[in-house]
Amino acid sequence: MVNTQAPPRLTAAKTSNSRGSAGMVGLWLQVIRLGPVLLLVLLGVVLSIASPHFLSPRNFANIGLEASVVAVLALGQLLVIVTAGIDLSVGAGAALAGVIGALWVKDLGITSGWLVIPSMILAGGVIGLINGLLFVKGLMPHAFLPTLAMLEVARGTALVLSDSQSIPGMPDSVRAIGAGKLGPIPYSVLVVIVLAVAVWVLLARTPWGQWIYATGANKEGARRVGIPVDQVLISVYVISGLSAGVAAIILTGQVNAAYPTAGNLLELSAIAAVIIGGASFFGGRGTVVGALVGALILGTIRNGLNLLNVSTNWQLIAIGVVIAVAVEMDVIRGWLETRLRTTRTEMLEGTT
């Protein structure tokens, strides 16, 4: 009989090579996942060389101040995007919440932060609730539609209530949150940290968080196993709206005034931060750390361009390019991860 089996030495060599290749594929997969962190480090290195002021403690505080609003909105947007949705209303919602808070002071003479701050957060939450109800109960095909409509409604309402004028004079507590510091650390950064921990606990340590991921991965499959998909979807838009209310506190506190035009295009920055951080428009994927890294990347880019005296017009172009690249990277990242996982599985199966 003819022996068709490979010699033991050849089989062992093939197995060793396959394992090595599979390990290399796994390494590249980790590199892809660490892409946002590597990009942030690269930006830091380049800007520290380009500007002697970049590495100063004062500049780090400026980056924190600049990134805090986007980070707050990104934490709320993260939950929405994990469910394969989108919230285009958060920038306008923040403007409306700010105007509502300022009107408490201007028209009612109420200067207590204990009343003004909750009213701003609640206003954002109501906007989010309306978004969620329109999307879920209105049977709309995608959240793009109700949140786009709410963007216009919220912006228009802010302009009407304020007579298209800024409203100066916010409570001391609002100004402290927006522009104050605890030592070298801005209070707004501390707010981001607290919210990030809360969202992380929700996603990683509660059944509701697991339901959010399951809903984004497969809505119909989630329904079949008993997950209350409609309630989950409404909840993430409420949380996104609440984050817009918190962002309004920071925005108005930074300038001690409410502007009806504030928050313009912030929704795109928040979405970009989440996608840059590794979340997917297709749902089911995204992390708190990734969203924060994405917000830091955008804040660092803006800060670096300011240090290099790049005009605001060019900054808008640069951020627009980053957003476009982030969306395309979402598609490329998903394709590469699927390809790499498949290759690794095939290689590992070949070693058995």
Alpha helices (H) along the chain: 8-33, 35-50, 57-82, 90-108, 113-136, 144-162, 172-179, 187-205, 207-217, 219-224, 229-255, 266-276, 288-307, 312-350
Between 14 and 329, residue with greater pLDDT: 329
**Sequence-separated (6 or more) residues with CB below 8 Å from residue 91:** 73, 151, 244, 263, 264, 265, 266, 267, 268, 270
Beta strand 185-186 pairing with 257-258: unpaired
Is the pLDDT confidence value at 14 over 70?
A: no
Q: CA nearest 96: which of 148, 167, 176, 145?
A: 167
pLDDT winner (highest mean) among 118-122, 272-276, 327-331: 118-122
Rounded Cα distance between 47 and 43, Å, is: 6
Where along the chain do its domains lie? 54-331
3-class state of residue 186 by DSSP:
strand
Instruction: Judge whether 307 and 59 are in contact, CB under 8 Å.
Output: yes
Q: CA nearest 288: which of 195, 194, 192, 196?
A: 196
What is the pLDDT at residue 322? 79
Kindly report which listed range (20-24, 110-114, 270-274, 286-290) carries the lowest average pLDDT score: 20-24
Whole-number CA gyration radius for the chain:
24
Q: pLDDT by residue (tens digit) across 77-120?
A: 999 999 999 999 999 999 999 999 999 999 888 889 999 999 99
Beta strand 257-258 pairing with 167-168: antiparallel
What is the pLDDT at residue 278? 86
Q: pLDDT by residue (tens digit) across 303-323?
A: 999 999 988 888 888 888 877
What is the pLDDT at residue 8? 56
Is the pLDDT confidence value at 75 over 60?
A: yes
Q: Partners of 243 in the beta sheet?
A: none
Mean pLDDT, range 47-67, rounded to an integer: 92
| CATH number attached to the domain at 54-331 | 1.10.3470
Rounded Cα distance between 193 and 60, Å, is: 16
The pLDDT confidence band at residue 123, using thresholds 50, 70 and 90, is very high
- For residue 141, the Cα-to-chain-centroid distance in whole angstroms is 23
What is the pLDDT at residue 151? 97
Rounded Cα distance between 35 and 274, Å, is: 13
What is the pLDDT at residue 116? 96
Rounded Cα distance between 255 and 175, Å, is: 8
3-class state of residue 323 by DSSP:
helix
**Sequence-separated (6 or more) residues with CB below 8 Å from residue 85:** 135, 142, 143, 233, 236, 237, 283
Q: pLDDT by residue (tens digit) across 179-237?
A: 999 999 999 999 999 999 999 999 999 999 999 999 999 999 999 999 999 999 999 99
